[in-house]
Amino acid sequence: MLTSFIEGLLCCLTSKSTNVVVPVETSEPADGFEFVEVKPGRVLRVRHIIPDRPVVEEPTGPGGSVSCKRKITVYRNGQLFIENLGDRSSGELKNYQNGDTEPNSTVEVELTDCVNSASPVNMPEPMSESASAAKDGTSEAGAGGDAPAAAAQTEQSQQPRRRRRKPKRTVVIDCERKISACRGTHADVALFFIHGVGGSLDIWGSQLDFFSRLGYEVIAPDLAGHGASSAPQIAAAYTFYALAEDMRLVFKRYARKRNILIGHSYGVSFCTFLAHEYPEQIHKMVMINGGGPTALEPSLCSIFNLPTCVLHCLSPLLAWSFLKAGFARQGAKEKQLLKDNNAFNVSSFVLRAMMSGQYWPEGDEVYHAELTVPILLIHGMHDKFVPIDEDQRMAEILLMAFLKVLEDGSHMIMMECPDPVNTLLHEFFLWEPAALPLPKKESKTRPETAKTQNDNVKAPTDPAKVRPATAKQASPNCIKEEKSGS
């Protein structure tokens, strides 16, 4: 504590930042680490593991197609109304195809109906059966029909009508997605792991080792100023858009035919950005304690708005607070995990710039509702940074979402409970929607003849009605936006 106070005092006197993170010179490409220069003078450390495996060009499973049809209406008072227009039931999408056995420490939160949960208050309610019958019996009541029906209609006509609000804009999504299981032996699958504020690629150590042994190609970068990446001494280098551009360049460098994004905390926002920018290349996505679908905006009343030298003096207190809030238990094991995984080991300047640069107004509910990629949400029950209500709201907004809650974990769930997290991730990677049965062509022969033929030969199928097994993924042009007048 005394050393930190003296260093902070020198920082204030000399106007220089201490504890600057610089690239590690001892890392070699043979260890699985690479240094990628995304911009001149901006170097990121990336762990890239390509395991030895047999090359299989195409998936062995047939996979399934999901019809993504929904209408998103935004009103001027900020309310959101989502209508799912797809024929496939949501219950079918919420079950893993191979999920017969699940970890005992997980609790599944069922997904509520988006239409009912996100409907605006001022929308007109549907007409009840009695009111509809009264409306249909108007002519009968006027011609001497049932008197109570006429009285009910008169009473209904005297009630004030609700004024239907005009929508600010309407977004229509109509596309088809091909979803298949991602096996470890497929050469066209790449897993991207993105950490959050104060972390590093080392927090994914258990996941990187687990999936690389299964035959997956894994990529995990250090954000600028974190781990062994370069740390520019300008605040503009740590805005959301600057970091998102870094992740976009890393993704383009290592992307395969099918890519899966796994993000934690602040890293979830970068995964969402990539899934929105590259819908055809992103196969699935995982959000670990990512929070709700709200636009990012830095807090005005935050401890991270203090001067850098003051934050440096308070760094031991901040590290202790992170340990208390980030882990369900605070013992010697958790402290060793923080030390070994290089978590929350960033300079005060980088920490302050990261918290102040979280400005992303585009990442609102509509932005997340437009995603058509299957998403797994993992939440630690004891997380003090992200309430469970936010992840539940995210699950309601997303089109295809699975929300899993781990009872024994907190914010750093991938370090506390690596085995349950790895199991959930692997099951999600292997999940694919059930293939729809092929429609049969109706026979035009007489019933007696058709019955005789069906006993020996199956009815042929119409090729025009059969969905191809290698259907293309959703096109980025499948989202249409309409604006109406005020």
Active-site residue, 389 included: no
**DSSP character for 223?**
P
- The token pair at 304 is 């991270």
**DSSP character for 88?**
S
Position 124, amino acid: P
335-343, long-range: CB within 8 Å, 24+ apart, which pairs? Answer: 337/412, 337/415, 337/416, 340/202, 341/199, 341/200, 341/202, 341/203, 341/205, 341/415, 342/200, 342/202, 342/203, 342/227, 343/198, 343/199, 343/200, 343/202, 343/203, 343/412, 343/415
- Annotated catalytic residue within 202, 222, 383, 391: 383
- Annotated catalytic residue within 265, 315, 347, 348: 265
Could you give the 3-state DSSP secondary structure of residue 128?
coil
Sheet holding 33-39, edge to edge: 33-39, 42-49, 217-221, 189-194, 258-264, 282-288, 375-380, 401-406, 106-108
Active-site residue, 410 included: no
Sheet holding 64-75, edge to edge: 80-84, 64-75, 167-179, 479-483
Active-site residue, 195 included: no
Of 235, 220, 241, nearest to 351 by C-alpha is 235
Q: What is the DSSP string of 27-63?
A: --GGGTEEEEEEETTEEEEEEEE------B-S-SS--
CB 59 within 8 A of CB 180: yes
Of 20, 2, 21, nearest to 313 by C-alpha is 2
Distance set, CA 323 to CA 112, 268, 384 (Å): 34, 21, 11
Q: 481 Cβ partners below 8 Å, 6+ apart?
A: 169, 170, 171, 172
Q: What is the DSSP string of 352-402?
A: HHHHHT--BTT-SHHHHHT--S-EEEEEETT-SSS-HHHHHHHHHHSSSEE
Q: Where in the sequence numbering do the catalytic residues fall?
A: 265, 383, 411
